[in-house]
């Protein structure tokens, strides 16, 4: 049991001390309940990450952590390129820049006037989702390359959304340094018919209502009020991102095989940031980020059209857009010294504190909005990053609830039909493409998102602003 070696270093922080090959300690943000449920495998995976070259500070796990492959899901790891630091495809994940964005509507719950069913039907019809669905856009290779270079900005130029949206996306909607030429032809082919699609699995589109406000001033600044209707979109870089992940994981494992480097798990395979393969992956991964940003931007436009058709509401301003599977070049203060680090967040959200120059002016006084998606039918949260988070977690927080039950178990334990009936009793309207898919996403297959968020807030990684509850859920 590795768990027995964890030492409590603060109320909600547990540390696994440096031993054997570890360069830095491993740290887990958790309360006693989360710790009690924690898989030993997560600690094992964190220890492996803490042993990678050039890692700085500590290998971190958020309260929603669960075991992944190689890197745990809900993990943060920062690497210094000057100290031999590395970049790993497995540290980012297959679904590059999977993330959440939230749009504000001018409507309150009573304005929906029992048109939830119509709204659900229209959203379901308009936004392609589910396995085997085809998008409504078909892109030429030349256009694809532009999209991969320009991200959400490309989408806005094509008429999907407005210029103002870009201000409220991380990196202003464009990952700089993207290299479409480092993205394989296969990855691009896989994306041909997938722009503007939601995907399947845990991805969703939700119409939500602001149910609780924890910080009135911050909520006001974000334009959120009690009972207000908002829309959240959770999806990623689709087939292109998945193929980039596959292509580069192969290259990184091949490099390890050739050099004879021992990997505790081949999903930990990496390339030095300052290497040809490292540069190639970085360029391709950034193109993957741009693909995800453009995808969410296109879906945003269609959501707005649906709201315009049904409610006549023209404007659904973007509150913010976060990606939770990324590696980004950022400046962080480590022991009083500013260093350029490559921060891997796999199932973790960037959560920059107040005053950070990366933030839009509007949010600079309060910190970066952090959007946390719940599991189907449960609460979602709007939080903000903190100064303390900058010190404790390289400005990072959790990303969602985190699975506790495998898909197979969930499929055996729940029925899609019963699930819909029970959510309908709570007044939630659901549209999904697959009963089995729905069963696999049953809320009980996940940790309690409220507890996960509470621990992040107690540690001081974030401050709570608002809690959202779903009214309409569209699943892939």
Q: Which is nearer to another protein, 218 or 433 (CB)?
A: 433
Touching another protein, residues 12-31 (CB under 8 A): none
CB 322, CB 349: distance < 8 Å: yes
CB of 234 to another protein, least distance (A): 15
User: Does position 401 bind another protein by CB under 8 A?
Assistant: no
Is-contact 281 87, C-beta < 8 A?
yes
Out of 440, 448, 463, 469, the only residue in the binding site for another protein (CB under 8 A) is: 440
Q: What whole-number distance in Å separates Cα of residue 330 and Cα of residue 346?
A: 16
Q: Confirm or reject binding of residue 239 to another protein (CB under 8 A).
A: yes
* Selected binder of another protein within 21, 131, 141, 424 (CB under 8 A): 131
* Sole binder of another protein in the list 64, 80, 95, 463 (CB under 8 A): 95
| 253 binds another protein, rule: CB under 8 A | yes
Q: Measured from the CB atom, is 214 or 435 closer to another protein?
A: 435
Which of 57, 81, 91, 130 is the binder for another protein (CB under 8 A)?
Answer: 130
Say whether residue 275 binds another protein (CB under 8 A): no
Stretch that binds another protein, among 165-173, 420-428, 436-444, 465-473 (CB under 8 A): 436-444
Find, among 317, 152, 111, the residue nearest to 222 by Cα.
317
260 interacts with another protein by CB under 8 A: no
**Strands 325-334 vs 271-272: parallel, antiparallel or unpaired:** unpaired
Confirm or reject binding of residue 186 to another protein (CB under 8 A). yes
When the beta carbons of 53 and 201 are compared against another protein, the nearer one is: 201
Shortest separation between residue 230's beta carbon and another protein, angstroms: 27
Task: Considering the complex, state which of residue 415 and residue 458 has its C-beta at the smaller distance from another protein.
Answer: 415
Dump the DSSP string for 315-381: ---EEEEEESEEEEEEEEEETTEEEEEEEEEES-EE-PPTT-TTS-GGGTTT--EEEE--STTS-EE
Nearer to another protein, 268 or 273 (CB): 268
Exposure of 417 by Cβ count < 10 A (0-12 exposed, 13-18 middle, 19+ buried)? exposed
Distance CA 283, CA 116 (A): 42
44 binds another protein (CB under 8 A): no
Which of residues 132, 312, 336, 357 is near another protein by CB under 8 A? 132
Contact with another protein (CB under 8 A): which of 31, 111, 121, 192?
192
Return the structure tokens found at 60: 């971190």
Does 267 help bind another protein (rule: CB under 8 A)?
A: yes
Q: Can you tell me which of 200, 232, 326, 396 binds another protein, judged by CB under 8 A? A: 200
Q: Beta 462-475 vs 204-213: how paired, if at all?
A: antiparallel
Strands 337-346 and 325-334: antiparallel
Among 364, 387, 407, 451, binds another protein (CB under 8 A): 407
Among positions 12, 14, 16, 94, the unique one binding another protein when judged by CB under 8 A: 94
Does 196 bind another protein (CB under 8 A)? Our answer is no
Distance of CA 46 to the CA centre of its chain: 19
For 48, what's the count of Cα atoms within 13 Å in the CB-facing half-sphere? 25
Q: Does 408 bind another protein (CB under 8 A)?
A: yes
Task: Name the residue nearer to another protein (CB basis): 139 or 229.
Answer: 139
| Angle at alpha carbon of residue 371, lines to 333 and 159, rounded to 5° | 105
Contact 371/102 with Cβ under 8 angstroms?
Answer: yes
**Pairing between β-strand 462-475 and β-strand 429-431 as defined by DSSP bridges:** parallel
Report the residue number, 161 or 432, with the smaller CB distance to another protein. 432
CA atoms within 13 A on the CB side of 333: 11
Q: Which of 108, 275, 409, 450 binds another protein (CB under 8 A)?
A: 409
Answer whether 230's CB lies under 8 Å from 219's CB: no
Query: Tokens 């301003």, residue?
Result: 317
328 versus 411: smaller Cβ distance to another protein? 411
Q: Is the dihedral angle over the CA atoms 373, 375, 377, 379 positive or is it negative?
A: negative
Instruction: Rule CB under 8 A: say whether 67 interacts with another protein.
Output: yes
Residues annotated as part of the active site: 399
Chain residues that interact with another protein, rule: CB under 8 A: 39, 66-70, 73, 90, 93-95, 130-134, 186, 189-190, 192-193, 199-201, 239, 242-243, 245-246, 249-250, 253-254, 257, 265-267, 269, 403-404, 406-409, 411, 433-437, 440, 476
């Amino acid at each position: 049991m590795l768990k027995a070696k964890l030492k409590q270093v603060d109320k909600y922080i547990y540390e696994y001390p440096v031993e054997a090959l570890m360069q830095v300690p491993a740290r887990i943000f958790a309360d006693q309940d989360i710790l009690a449920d924690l898989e030993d495998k997560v600690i094992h995976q964190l220890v492996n990450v803490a042993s990678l070259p050039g890692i700085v500070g500590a290998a971190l796990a958020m309260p929603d952590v669960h075991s992944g492959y190689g890197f745990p899901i809900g993990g943060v790891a920062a690497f210094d390129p000057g100290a031999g630091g590395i970049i790993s495809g497995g540290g980012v994940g297959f679904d590059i820049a999977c993330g959440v964005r939230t749009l504000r509507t001018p409507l309150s719950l009573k304005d929906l006037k029992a048109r939830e069913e119509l709204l659900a039907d229209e959203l379901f019809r308009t936004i392609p989702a589910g396995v085997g669905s085809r998008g409504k856009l078909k892109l030429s290779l030349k256009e694809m390359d532009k999209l991969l270079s320009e991200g959400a900005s490309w989408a806005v130029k094509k008429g999907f959304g407005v210029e103002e949206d870009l201000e409220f996306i991380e990196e202003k909607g464009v990952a700089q340094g993207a290299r479409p030429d480092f993205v394989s032809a296969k990855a691009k082919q896989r994306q041909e018919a997938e722009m503007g699609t939601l995907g399947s699995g845990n991805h969703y589109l939700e119409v939500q209502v602001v149910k609780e406000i924890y910080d009135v001033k911050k909520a006001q600044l974000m334009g959120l009020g009690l009972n207000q209707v908002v829309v959240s979109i959770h999806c990623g870089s689709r087939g292109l991102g998945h193929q980039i992940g596959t292509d580069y994981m192969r290259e990184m494992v091949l490099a390890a095989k050739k050099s004879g480097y021992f990997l505790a798990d081949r999903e930990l395979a990496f390339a030095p940031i300052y290497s040809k393969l490292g540069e190639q992956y970085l360029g391709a991964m950034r193109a993957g980020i741009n693909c995800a940003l453009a995808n969410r931007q296109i879906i945003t436009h269609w959501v707005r059209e649906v709201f315009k058709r049904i409610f006549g509401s023209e404007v659904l301003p973007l509150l913010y857009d976060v990606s939770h599977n990324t590696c980004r070049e950022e400046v962080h203060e480590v022991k009083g010294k500013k260093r350029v680090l490559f921060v891997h967040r796999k199932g973790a959200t960037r959560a920059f504190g107040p005053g950070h120059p990366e933030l839009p002016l509007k949010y600079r006084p309060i910190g970066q909005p952090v959007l946390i998606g719940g599991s189907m039918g449960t609460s979602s949260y709007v939080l903000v990053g903190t100064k303390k988070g900058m010190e404790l977690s390289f400005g990072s927080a959790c990303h969602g609830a985190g699975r506790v039950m495998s898909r197979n178990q969930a499929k055996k334990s729940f029925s899609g039909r019963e699930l819909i009936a029970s959510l309908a009793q709570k007044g939630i309207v659901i549209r999904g493409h697959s009963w089995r898919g729905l069963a696999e996403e049953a809320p009980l297959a996940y940790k309690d998102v409220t507890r996960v968020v509470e621990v992040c807030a107690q540690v001081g990684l974030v401050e709570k602003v608002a809690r959202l509850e779903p009214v309409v859920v569209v699943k892939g």
